[in-house]
């Protein structure tokens, strides 16, 4: 009797789950990890901001190499005076072109600093791409894990409902005490609450994933695996993007020191023009040059500040290299540990828990085991399946972290 009733309920549960799945898939948009990576890379705010900053830095680098514009000067002398100079007839009018000449390597040093800053911005754009890809991989894996937890919770709910119906039938037949039915109904109510919470968490995880590209995530159906990653080879800390950025900032700071020193060299302004004498109508060529005298302001503070910036940038570079080495070792260790955890769950924990539940269910149908034995076996299976999900998620996160460290320009 118990076996027949369990079979019918099992078929009903399977039909309900299949219908629910087909309805969901029919209205959902299938999304793979590759799709999610492409969408986020194209629309993520962090990438857009870094792209704009890189474009701005490139524009500043182009501007830095342009020479100063010439200046047009017009000068009228000896007008509106007294005597012979009461009118404009004795005026002297001068039209000149003035050109400031940057000497001492000012333009070269300015251009070098701007190019180094543009390189830094370009590398930061690469970091934005890599960080976004890591976020996508992590959130994709979290969303898949949430879906799996929701599926486990639904299966647990249906099993508990099925068991509660079986127990109630046995109580009605006088083969189980009423307390058993109350216990089974209580477990079913708890499973229903857990199922609702798992469904809500799965929806929240999909929304968190879609938020990376400004989507809603309400109609997403995840497909494929978020844990499998191509082998990126050995990690080289010196080639990591974070270290490259730190090195580029050192170069920019060094160029800043050169530029501050070049400011000490005063610019020379040369002048050439034509002067007209209104009283005679004659013209004469004028030439001249001027330059500031660096007596008090020799940009001492600017040079000292630039040197301090260079010292700070070199310290950051050493710290970035040390951090890259540490993260690389941590990533390798986390990857190995997560793989071992998943292997243990797949080969031992879940198969053994499922076999124990089968034995307990068969024993209960045969009257050899109690209801508590079945409940304990089901709880153990739920725990083993949940551990498998968590192990798979940990492995996906470890792959994502390693891929971030292995990212290049």
- Please report, for the domain that includes residue 275, its CATH number: 2.20.200
Label the pairing between strands 29-31 and 220-222.
parallel
> Using 50, 70 and 90 to split pLDDT, how confident is the model at 93?
confident
Answer yes or no: do 228 and 370 share one domain. yes
Answer yes or no: do 74 and 15 share one domain. no
Answer yes or no: do 152 and 183 share one domain. yes
DSSP H helical ranges for 236-299: 241-262
Sequence-distant (6+) residues with CB within 8 A of 98 are 70, 71, 72, 73, 269, 270, 271
The confidence score (pLDDT) of residue 324 equals: 92
What residues are paired with 285 via a beta bridge?
A: 274
Q: Domain with 378 in it: what CATH number?
A: 1.20.1600.10
d(CA 4, CA 167): 13
Return the residue matching tokens 């000012």.
Answer: 106
Strand-by-strand arrangement of the 92-101 sheet: 71-77, 92-101, 268-277, 283-290
The confidence score (pLDDT) of residue 226 equals: 57
> Using 50, 70 and 90 to split pLDDT, how confident is the model at 307?
very high
Tell me the residue range of the domain where 93 lies: 69-101+265-298
The confidence score (pLDDT) of residue 12 equals: 52
Answer yes or no: do 24 and 111 share one domain. yes
Number of domains in the chain: 2
319 token code pair = 């710290």
d(CA 273, CA 284): 9
Q: Write the pLDDT tens digit of every residue in 388-398.
A: 999 999 999 99
Answer yes or no: do 349 and 384 share one domain. yes
Sequence-distant (6+) residues with CB within 8 A of 48 are none
Domain end, chosen from 274, 298, 322, is at 298
What does the pLDDT average to over 163-186? Answer: 80
Residue 228: is it exposed, middle or buried by C-beta count within 10 angstroms (0-12/13-18/19+)?
exposed
The confidence score (pLDDT) of residue 7 equals: 44
């Amino acid at each position: 009797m118990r076996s027949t009733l369990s079979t019918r309920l099992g078929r009903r549960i399977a039909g309900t789950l299949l219908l629910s799945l087909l309805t969901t898939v029919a209205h959902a948009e299938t999304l793979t990890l590759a799709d999610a990576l492409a969408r986020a890379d194209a629309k993520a705010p962090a990438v857009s901001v870094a792209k704009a900053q890189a474009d701005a830095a490139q524009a500043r680098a182009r501007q830095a190499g342009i020479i100063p514009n010439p200046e047009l000067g017009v000068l009228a002398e000896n007008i509106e005076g007294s005597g012979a100079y009461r009118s404009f007839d004795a005026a002297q009018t001068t039209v000149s072109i003035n050109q400031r000449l940057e000497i001492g390597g000012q333009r070269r040093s300015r251009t070098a600093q701007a190019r180094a800053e543009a390189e830094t911005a370009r590398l930061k754009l690469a970091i934005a791409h890599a960080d976004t890809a890591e976020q996508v991989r992590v959130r994709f894996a979290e969303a898949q894990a949430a879906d799996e937890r929701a599926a486990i919770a639904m299966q647990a709910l249906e099993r508990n409902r099925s068991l509660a119906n079986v127990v109630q039938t046995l109580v009605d037949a006088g083969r189980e005490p009423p307390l058993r039915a109350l216990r089974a109904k209580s477990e079913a109510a708890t499973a229903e609450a857990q199922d609702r919470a798992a469904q809500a968490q799965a929806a929240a995880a999909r929304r968190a994933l879609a938020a990376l590209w400004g989507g809603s995530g309400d109609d997403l159906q995840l497909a494929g695996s978020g844990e499998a990653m191509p082998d990126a080879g050995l990690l080289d800390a010196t080639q990591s993007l974070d270290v490259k950025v730190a090195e580029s900032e050192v170069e920019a700071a060094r160029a800043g020191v050169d530029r501050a020193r070049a400011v000490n060299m005063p610019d020379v302004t040369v002048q050439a023009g034509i002067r007209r004498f209104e009283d005679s109508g004659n013209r004469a060529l004028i030439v001249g040059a001027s330059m500031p005298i660096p007596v008090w302001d020799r940009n001492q503070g600017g040079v000292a500040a630039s040197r301090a910036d260079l010292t700070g940038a070199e310290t950051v570079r050493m710290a970035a290299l040390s951090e890259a080495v540490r993260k690389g070792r941590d990533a390798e260790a986390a990857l190995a540990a997560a793989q071992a955890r998943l292997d243990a769950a797949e080969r031992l924990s879940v198969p053994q828990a499922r076999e124990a539940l089968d034995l307990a269910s068969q024993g209960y149908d045969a009257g050899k085991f109690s209801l508590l034995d079945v409940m304990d076996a089901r709880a153990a299976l739920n725990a083993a399946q949940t551990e498998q999900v968590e192990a798979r998620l940990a492995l996906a996160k470890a792959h994502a972290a390693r891929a971030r460290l292995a990212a290049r320009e």
